[in-house]
Amino acid sequence: MSHSEKAAIFNKDEAKVNWHDKALWFVREKRDTSAHKVKGWEELRNLASGIKANVLSNLDNYLIEFEANAQKNGIKVHWASNAEEHNKIVHKILAKHKAKKVVKSKSMLTEECHLNPYLENEGIEVIDTDLGERIVQLAKEPPSHIVLPAIHKTKEEVDELFQEHLGTTPSNGNPEYLTNEARKHLRDKFLKADAAITGVNFAVAETGGFVVCTNEGNADMGSHLAKVHIACMGIEKIIPKEEHLGVFLRLLARSSTGQPITTYSSHFNKPAEGREMHIVIVDNGRTEQLSREEFRSSLSCIRCGACMNTCPIYRRSGGHSYDATIPGPIGSILSPGMDMKKHSSLPFASTLCGSCSNVCPVKINIHEQLYAWRQVIVKEQKQPIIKKSILKITGAVLARPTLYSFMGKSVRFMLKYAPKFMIYSKLNAWGKARDLPEVKNGNFDQWYKNREKNG
Amino acid sequence: MKVGLFIPCYINQLYPQVGIATLELLEKLGVDVIYPSNQTCCGQPLGNSGYEDDAKGACQVFVENFKEYDYIVGPSGSCIYHVKKHFDILEQTPDVIKVRNNAYELCEFITKVLGIKDVGAKFPHKVGLHKSCHGLRGLKLGSCSEKMEPHYSTEEDLLNNVEGVKLMPLNRKDECCGFGGTFSVFEEAISVKMGKDRIQDHLDNGVEVLTGADHSCLMHLEGLLNRNKQPIKVMHIAEILNSSI
């Protein structure tokens, strides 16, 4: 199903759409307030954008530098060219340690690689420890937002889910009670875990260390308790120097939720005595995206989710309508690069309003890339014949002023004199909920000609 | 100063009164305006749908029509933005470059080129301003709510100087209305929902007349207002600036 079809289904429950829209708009406004307090916010965005551009232009060197420094610190570094290799590597490490119970903090990369089903298939229990991720895991759903994975669920729905899976008592969606129950449930999982998997927000080439940002401390809890820590990162997570963290950490949480900084910004540099620390560096289509000049800056993304919160379409269609690991505007420019056929409707799920590009902390020109993807998709993917014919004919008419003048008159004649049932039919999506413009006597051309004639 | 009047296709065919108001307003302000015949469209509907290559003919017609003029002025931020931003698909001849550089949205032309903020209009109504995304974020006609920049607005500057106008503040000052060209039909459900939400904001803030510098957004909003019989009148900003009631 295309985005528009899924979004139409989501819109059948208007009250829920309103709630979803307001919840995310609230986060967008928190972001505005928080960013307003930073003197030189726009300059900070320029800096971040510049650092990321430098990274993407020198990615090979920075990755090698990072690997060498990480190894010096005693971290084991693995390279995976695709999702399958990534999953195999992670499994091999876990198998070596006979790990059967794994706790995982948030990582969109492992979602992208479908690591959970892979490991579960191998008889390993994987528990997502971010509360939102745990909620969607229990519901057997993918996250609908990269920072707020369960934003599509109301607290009442969470209540029911917890009753079913955690044996809680009905609480009418009492957030305090439910959070406490989740906390107890997760404590137990942390204590019994054989290994911890985390994502990576920033990997510092200069030091070989990496930073993981969470609000719940779940990455720390997992990695400090288990004897093996596996951190999974896409190749684009590199930043050159530790001092650059000062730029990105200031931008990330403010853009994301409006907090000045994430509650935990944890720096991992080397394994503790008697422990193992692994990093899996994954390509999975990223070098191909890097080779596409128009779309390469999409790899600058630091996964703050600000473009989702501000996007008027995302807010009213819900993350699942995008049917992609990363939903929303940034996902709509990343996903076609991974699978153009599957995701061909996504770049059209936008009015090109440009709000996404304006909030982006690394200044990715998201709406311009959406426009550019449309041009590529129309050429490379089969298009609905009616849409294609209409637009091709329109192009031909607009190139011929006389023909255009004739067509313009005909259309106005139709709109004015054709019976209503013909105009407001199933074929006319405009007319389902909107009236068509009232047609006046004559167009501007005629009025101007008459005026010229009459002096 | 030789000014060519650009009347976008849908305004020509469906909203001649907007074209008339634009022309009369510019003439009132002492501008020598000519309306070149043979205008079709800037090609935006094709470009936004992914058929940019098929728009080249329309873009060429546009350049031919306007290459002789010092300024090209049109009452639609979105179309002007398309000319400035997306005519990069043509070979960049001196004519193409000249046309792209000298294309102006009406309000911007009045405030920037003519240097006028008070056009001497009267309009005693509570007005809600819809800032079109292409005008705002594309042409930078005003400051954007996402950016940490000092407040400014080309349209507000003009409207605030119209006698009797009471500009009503909105809860979301620059959210998209959901028109988006062919988006309005291919993503019908979301488009309609976005439009309804925008209208509600204007209703909640006591707006009598909803205006803006882009009539395509207004066409979408007016379609919803009429269908739902809601008590807001829609007028292009040129019509307000040309009023002397």
Task: Map A155-221 to HEC letters.
Answer: HHHHHHHHHHHHCCCCCCCCHHHHHHHHHHHHHHHHHHCCEEEECCCEEECCCCEEEEEECCCHHHH
List the single residue in B with minimal CA-CA distance to A383.
B50
Structural domain contains residue B206: yes
Q: How far is A292 from chain B (nearest CA, A)?
A: 18
**Claim to verify: residue B213 and residue B138 sit in the same structural domain:** yes
Test A378 with B51 for CB contact under 8 angstroms.
yes
**pTM recorded for the entire structure:** 0.96
Nearest to A442 among B16, B138, B192 (CB): B16
Q: What pLDDT, in 10s, does the model give residues A377-428?
A: 999 998 888 888 888 888 888 888 888 888 777 777 767 776 776 667 777 8
Structural domain contains residue B119: no
**Claim to verify: residue B81 and residue B179 sit in the same structural domain:** no
**Claim to verify: residue B99 and residue B180 sit in the same structural domain:** no
**Claim to verify: residue B78 and residue B7 sit in the same structural domain:** yes
Amino acid letter, A38 = V
Please report the pLDDT score of residue A422 as a whole number: 67
Nearest to A314 by CA among A98, A106, A151, A123: A151
State mean pLDDT over A42-70: 98
**Claim to verify: residue B100 and residue B7 sit in the same structural domain:** yes
Test B189 with A25 for CB contact under 8 angstroms.
no
Domain residues for the domain of B86 are 3-113
CATH number of the CATH domain containing B145: 3.40.50
List the single residue in A with minimal CA-CA distance to B132.
A353
Q: Which of the listed residues B113, B144, B170 is the one where a domain comes to its end?
A: B113
**Claim to verify: residue B199 and residue B165 sit in the same structural domain:** yes
Instruction: Assess B77–A contact: CB distance below 8 Å, yes or no.
Output: no
Which residue ranges form the domains of chain A, and what is each CATH number? 1-37+293-382 (1.10.1060), 39-284 (3.40.50), 386-453 (no CATH)
Structural domain contains residue B9: yes
Instruction: Compute CA distances A32 → A95, A309, B24, B105, B144, whole Å.
Output: 46, 11, 41, 29, 11
Test B223 with A439 for CB contact under 8 angstroms.
no
Q: How far is B147 from chain A (nearest CA, A)?
A: 7
Please report the pLDDT score of residue A428 as a whole number: 81
Q: Which of the listed residues B85, B113, B141 is the one where a domain comes to its end?
A: B113
Which position has the token pair 């488009």?
A: B191
Q: How far is B106 from chain A (nearest CA, A)?
A: 17
Nearest to A437 among B14, B43, B45 (CB): B14
Please report the pLDDT score of residue B165 as a whole number: 98
Nearest to B13 among A352, A399, A411 (CB): A411
List the single residue in A with minimal CA-CA distance to B14.
A439
**Claim to verify: residue B158 and residue B98 sit in the same structural domain:** no
**Claim to verify: residue B222 and residue B137 sit in the same structural domain:** yes
**Claim to verify: residue B194 and residue B225 sit in the same structural domain:** yes
Structural domain contains residue B61: yes
Q: What is the dihedral of CA A231, A188, A112, A281, to 10 degrees?
A: 10
**Count of structural domains, chain B:** 2
Q: How far is A296 from chain B (nearest CA, A)?
A: 20
Question: Each residue's pLDDT tens digit in chain B (245 positions)?
Answer: 999 999 999 999 999 999 999 999 999 999 999 999 989 999 999 999 999 999 999 999 999 999 999 999 999 999 999 999 999 999 999 999 999 999 999 999 999 999 999 999 999 999 999 999 999 999 999 999 999 999 999 999 999 999 999 999 999 999 999 999 999 999 999 999 999 999 999 999 999 999 999 999 999 999 999 999 999 999 999 999 999 85
Structural domain contains residue B157: yes
Test A36 with B14 for CB contact under 8 angstroms.
no
**Claim to verify: residue B163 and residue B67 sit in the same structural domain:** no
Q: What pLDDT, in 10s, does the model give residues A256-284?
A: 999 999 999 999 999 999 999 999 999 99
CB atoms within 10 A of CB A360: 28
CB atoms within 10 A of CB A288: 12
Nearest to A435 by CA among B216, B130, B221: B221
For chain B positions 210-239, those within 8 Å of chain A (CB to CB) are: 219-220, 222-224, 226-227
Instruction: Assess B146–A contact: CB distance below 8 Å, yes or no.
Output: yes
**Claim to verify: residue B59 and residue B140 sit in the same structural domain:** no
Test B146 with A32 for CB contact under 8 angstroms.
yes
Structural domain contains residue B118: no
- Torsion over CA: A130, A135, A140, A144 (sign): negative
Q: What pLDDT, in 10s, does the model give residues A162-202?
A: 999 999 999 999 999 999 999 999 999 999 999 999 999 99
Contacts with B178 from chain A: Cβ below 8 Å: 312, 351
Nearest to B12 among A14, A391, A444 (CB): A444
Q: What pLDDT, in 10s, does the model give residues A211-257?
A: 999 999 999 999 999 999 999 999 999 999 999 999 999 999 999 99
Nearest to A351 among B7, B183, B222 (CB): B183
Q: Which of the listed residues B113, B138, B153 is the one where a domain comes to its end?
A: B113
Q: How far apart are alpha carbons A254 and A264 in whole angstroms?
A: 14
**Claim to verify: residue B162 and residue B89 sit in the same structural domain:** no
Test A400 with B226 for CB contact under 8 angstroms.
no
